Amino acid sequence: MRPACCPGMCPEREWSERQKQGRLHRLELATGAAVKEWRRPAAGCEAAAPEELRPPAVLLQTMRHLVERVVPRAEPGHGPEAEPWPLVHDFVVDRLRSVRQDLAAQRLGGRPAAAILEQSLRFLLAGPFWLGRPPPCDPRPREPGSIDAQVRECFSRLLAIYSEGEHENRAEFQALALLYDLGSDAAYHRALQLPAHIKDSPEMKMAFTINQALAEGNYVRCLRVVRRLPFLESCAVYRHIPMLRHRLLRAFSHGYSCSNCRYPLQTLAELLAVDSQDIATDLCQRHGQQVTGNSVCFQKSSYKDPDTNPGLEELELVIKKQGDKTRSNIIRGHKMTATEL
């Protein structure tokens, strides 16, 4: 473990350098506090000096600053001085990455590391939805440094920490990991090895239910349970929803293929977990199915796999579950009950 003795959120040398170069971020000037930037490790360079590394207490202080002072600057209630969320999002993504870099350099584990990784994951999972840009629906890993790569890195490190002791949020994040990799045999097998009290938690039971329904080809049940998921779990599973809708429509186009059969469009919209008949109509037409009035005529012969992503950027399924909870509360880990959804 490398020693760490940087007393502030930004090392003195970096702060002085960036101040001289005029590179202090607008949010750092607004809050009166600089935060260490993420820097790509250069090949062959010496390890970071102790005065460049922040110890656990300072890393936790940095997390609190980012979550409680920076993130709220983009909240609607901040008044005329509110900052645009894309500016805040990109700044926090970078500074969180720097926090985790210092964490890894010291090989820190235990509760401080778990708290940092948990809040990082909540931010990384929810951030794209607050931007209005859903994550890619292609579940394959993305390039290094992408949000997907950072999410996977955080999950890998956090689940390793969980395996070494008891942590109160373990069930929540084991479920999020399983939903994020929905349909992965490896992820499902790892989940089956968890202690009984984690597997029997409400969060894990819902994640297991969706995985089992997917394995059985019961896409109606998958989407029905997805509708009941809280906000953060919906963020984690969202990238798989277009696939579920695609498979449901393929199954219906075969199972209900009949020239005289009409399937109610409103019922189909509910099964697809979309929020309007217009969205259901668009999905049906992309799959070559005819919509007339308020009904669909499924035809196996006219079915087609869409040339483009079968999912729309339809975020209402997720965003409405946030309710009146602030972004900061969600990142800190505010628990939403069923009555709040």
Would you tell me how many other CB atoms lie within 10 Å of the CB of residue 322?
Answer: 22
Tell me the two tokens of residue 148: 């997907």
Whether the pLDDT of residue 260 is over 90: the answer is: no
pLDDT bracket for residue 84 (50, 70, 90): very high
Tell me how far CA of residue 36 lies from CA of 53, 70, 124, 146, 212, in angstroms: 10, 14, 19, 20, 44
Question: Does residue 45 or residue 39 have the better pLDDT?
Answer: 39
For position 96, what pLDDT does the model report? 98
Whether the pLDDT of residue 90 is over 60: the answer is: yes
Q: Answer whether 228's CB lies under 8 Å from 206's CB.
A: yes
- Average pLDDT for residues 135-145, to the nearest whole number? 66
Whether the pLDDT of residue 339 is over 50: the answer is: no
Question: Does residue 141 or residue 56 have the better pLDDT?
Answer: 56
pLDDT tens, residue by residue, 148-173: 999 999 999 999 999 998 999 999 99
Whether the pLDDT of residue 212 is over 90: the answer is: yes
pLDDT tens, residue by residue, 167-195: 999 999 999 999 999 999 999 999 999 99
Strand extents, DSSP E, the chain: 263-264, 290-292, 295-297
Percent of the chain with pLDDT over 90: 70
Whether the pLDDT of residue 48 is over 60: the answer is: yes
Q: Answer whether 174's CB lies under 8 Å from 191's CB.
A: yes
Q: What's the mean per-residue pLDDT of the chain?
A: 89
pTM of the model: 0.90
Whether the pLDDT of residue 262 is over 80: the answer is: yes
Question: Does residue 313 or residue 125 have the better pLDDT?
Answer: 125
Whether the pLDDT of residue 310 is over 50: the answer is: no
For position 15, what pLDDT does the model report? 94
- Which amino acid does the sequence have at 241? I
Distance CA 334, CA 341 (A): 13
* Residue 287 backbone dihedrals phi, psi, to 5 degrees: -100, 15
Whether the pLDDT of residue 307 is over 70: the answer is: no
For position 317, what pLDDT does the model report? 81
For position 51, what pLDDT does the model report? 86
For position 137, what pLDDT does the model report? 65
* Residue 234 backbone dihedrals phi, psi, to 5 degrees: -65, -35
Would you tell me how many other CB atoms lie within 10 Å of the CB of residue 101?
Answer: 17
- Average pLDDT for residues 191-218, to the nearest whole number? 96
Distance CA 111, CA 244 (A): 36
